[in-house]
Structure 1
């Protein structure tokens, strides 16, 4: 399989969940680099505003109102891209939502709805994109999570859906590679991000939910997505915390369980009373055109771990430079009497 991924400026990119958080940040960054965009979300007003914003900057943009949990909607997205641009080069399966609360308290209807978006939305997008990309070549980028690799209380169905996304993505990648299809399949695994995640989630708890620290900027995830659109990488962790959690769960699962029981219940709860439970985006679009919610506490604007993963040459050069500087300092420092630098 010979993968020939285009530069962003030469690509047509399909982005689901494009009006909020990671999707919105990615769309704006891709537009800045000259990509032609197919923006997908359920909120038609937000899509129109975003398309207008990017078109004013000189980008070629179309938008498609779609629910990724409905296969026919996703087929319409692909057809719209083909009709307008002749096809697409990268398909980003980003749309998703969560539910906070103990699993036993959550209605089966809500649990199924979460899976319809988080899992089946990825399946629909991946299968439909692959059918086109087998002939053209390109990338499928699926947004998983750090909880693709470990359990998380109070967001059990979300964690389960992201485990399912990982299993599907890894299996589908193998099948495409065995067929020698020119399609790169990447799984992005973000840590907690300052997006509209909490605002959009449905909450069954008596208090308002929150994401456990550390919190990272959505720009880091967007940069990872754009890297994967140009360079095949099997998976990318967004934030060093995501990699640490995954490794701990793999090598020391009971240690990870103990940590989760001790910290993750209280770290996902605030002291504020819960708002009206109907205020969520599980079934209908909520507040859009915001990249960040503005979560309290520090937000990491960069991740050395992720930078090393997607820019290994730059980081290697930086470390080499640091090494040279240390060596130079060591040789130039005053030496005790009778000693010479080696």
Structure 2
């Protein structure tokens, strides 16, 4: 009864993230946006230009307060690789500053829980628990052969390295992020949907967002995936096309075609995927006047929505529903899109 529900404001989050990224990029061109509020900055070649690593961290903190607001704080982690830098950032919160060196790395790891380290999640932790491995010292005591037997070739090496604070992955700036292979949107409703009209509105909403993401990346796809879940029932299907699409209405119609024989009684989850993406510059120009007009209409709608906000203009089919807004974060791997969404010109 005492809970106060505060609605999300993704436009505000995006604006603050945009300004945060700009501050971080001041200190090195090798700046990776890891999430909505996290960056990795490789200052190996630039730290001397700004008075050293500690001065950079303190300056970032001060600039966040002065350029964004006193209500913005950040915890800075400093180390010689991404794994330990992220672990360091969690040591003192909020507004902390922590340094992990080669000399104290094992000490910090050994007092940390296994899941404190990025890249070691619930599934791995559960499997390690079955083997009675619940700390980094115990994990380090296991040989590569033992880990390979229980976790296979990939995860055995990953666990071996994580337990020793080894991480050779580079910081990946935006310009080097590869193009997405697919765009997806899923949504779990707060209650079951029983009416066909409500289910169709949900599907259309997600189809519009998935194709808008593809167009934002100037891409089109020819693989369509569609799934619904409700209670114990699950339905899924896909279709591979001969031509490429990035039109929300076309994607919605294809989802309808995939689901035409499904006996759907209730829906709680919906997912839409557009895959096998390629750049639009490799696609033929529409030949028929109706297709040309449709393409111009969609381009105009995109410009309006980019200028005045998502779903300023939207399909009439979505009238009367609470439109599901795009997420700035949480997309399925299309990180390149997320960052360009944040960094596109205001």
TM-based fold match above 0.5: no
Name the TM-score class by shorter chain: under 0.3
Higher relative contact order (CA 8 A, sep 6+): 1
**Structure with bigger gyration radius:** 2
TM-score by length of structure 1 reads 0.26
